[in-house]
Structure 1
Amino acid sequence: MNQQPASRYDSFSQVLHWVTAITVTVAFILGPGGFGRLMRQGVDPATRSDIVWHESLGMLVLVLTVLRLAWMALRPAAPQFQMARWMHLAAKLVRIALWVLLLALPVTAFLALGSEGHPLTLLGGVRIDRMPFIAESRVAGLADWGDVHQFLGDSIMWLAGLHAVAAILHHVVLKDGVLVAMLPQGKSR
């Protein structure tokens, strides 16, 4: 029996995609500028709701990313679209870069906190004051991980913006169903 290729992502993939996109955006907006400076001035991150929310949402991004990667191995086949070879290549490169950033951002956050001796503060009063396995590692001193984290955070927002513009271009100009494939069933226009 020949099955038609899917024209849409499955509902769970759609939910994971949009929840991740919203979570990354809100975490970026709440990202406290001058975090390291605040900590060096003795500010307790638990007293700053922007820090607590930023770090909590960052952990949620990590969980969502791991869940999405696991789901990709199990889910129905992703839809395929006819388009120029360079568009397929560009889309693949952007997707790979976004996946790398989704994983690298939480890792660099841990490296920044651990190497600078700052606590990880999460919603519900969860707090990890020290991360000696990071602070004492060789990796800790290789970079200013706070600056790396900030750069990667800016990068993911630019890349996600490019991703969104490309999806809108596909919808408005090319009318090929790329954007619709990631929208819930009743939202095709």
Structure 2
Amino acid sequence: MSLTPVSPQRYGTVAMSLHWLIALAIIANLAIVFLIEDMPRPDRMFWMGWHKSIGLTVLILSLARVAWRLTHPAPAHPVGISPAQRIAGAALHHLFYLMIIVVPLAGWLMVSTNPRPIPFFGLFDFPAFPGLSGMTREEAHPYHELFENIHVLVGWAFVFLVPVHIAAALYHHHFLKNNVLLRMIPGSKLRP
């Protein structure tokens, strides 16, 4: 397997890999939340274990993604992108960077208020966030509620913004016929 080099026109292999892994994990977690609603409690708890493990994975990958992005600039915008599109694109990307940290972090903080361990794909117990474990249920309740509200509210923003992000990428590809989408697809050939 050859690595895609970073260039002024496209993202490199690391950025692409992190982008697609995080995207797939977020979509999987959204699907889990919607599919388990009517399941019996034991099934719901099983899938919530997966939801937590995937969410913690998103947090780890997202921290790596942000660190990578801070040290490796994004490719330049294709020629012909209007200032309004640049501003909208930058705003959406910054919002996504914030959300891919806030949603799983709030989830980790929320489950850390519970005395039960946080299994990570059944391999080991993920540590609780420092300072949140060991509280009584009454002491932990307001923190749990706060973190749950943030997790759910920003999670719903994903439900809205992921389709907007996909639609914008497809608009650039099919209507503007530029490389905005292609520069994030591994092995794709850029348009001249």
Residue among 101, 110, 130 paired with 1:103: 101
Q: Paired residue for 1:49?
A: 46
Q: Distance in 2 between matches of 1:52 and 1:101?
A: 21
Deviation readout 1:67-122 (Å, 9 max, x if unpaired): 11121233365232231111111111111111111111122112322345554232
Which residue of structure 2 aligns with residue 85 of structure 1?
83
* 1:173 positional shift: 0.6
Q: How does 1:29-68 map to 2 (within 5 A)?
A: 29-31=31-33, 32-33=36-37, 48-68=45-65
- The answer to whether the Cα contact below 8 Å between 1:52 and 1:121 also exists between their aligned partners in 2 is yes
Residue of structure 2 in register with 1:178 after alignment: 180
CA distance in 2, matches of 1:129, 1:164: 34
The alignment partner of 1:79 has SS state of coil
Structure 2: segments with no counterpart, 5+ residues: 1-6
Residues 18, 61 of structure 2: 8 Å contact kept: yes
| Aligned counterparts of 2:171 and 2:132: Cα–Cα separation in 1 | 43
Q: Which residue of 2 aligns with 1:23?
A: 25
Relative to 1, partners in 2 of residues 1:173 and 1:119: Cα closer, same or farther, differing over 3 Å?
Answer: same
| RMSD between aligned residues | 3.0
Matching of residues 85-164 of structure 1 within 5 Å: 85-115=83-113, 117=115, 119-127=117-125, 133-134=131-132, 141=142, 143-164=145-166
What is the total number of aligned residue pairs between the two structures? Answer: 175
| Whole-angstrom distance in 2 between the partners of 1:172 and 1:160 | 18
Q: Secondary structure at the match of 1:64?
A: helix
Separation (CA, whole Å) in 2 of partners of 1:69 and 1:98: 11
Q: Distance in 1 between matches of 2:156 and 2:49?
A: 19
The structure 2 residue matched to 1:165, chosen from 164, 167, 184, is 167
Preserved CA contact (<8 Å) 1:108 1:149: yes
Residues 129 and 22 of structure 1, relative CA distance in 2, 3 Å threshold: closer
Name the structure 2 match of 1:70.
67
Q: Comparing both chains, which one has the higher relative contact order based on Cα–Cα distances under 8 Å and sequence gaps of 6 or more?
A: 1
1:10-45 deviation per Cα after TM superposition (whole angstroms, max 9, x unaligned): 1221111111100111122123549xxx6xxxx7x9
How far apart are residue 49 of structure 1 and its match? 2.5
Residue identity over aligned pairs, in percent, reads 23
TM-score, normalised relative to structure 1: 0.77
Higher alpha-carbon deviation: 120-129 or 102-111: 120-129
Amino acid at match of 1:57: I
Measure the CA separation in 1 of the matches of 2:48 and 2:78.
41
Change (3 A) 1:107 1:157: same
Query: How far is 1:144 from its partner?
Result: 3.8
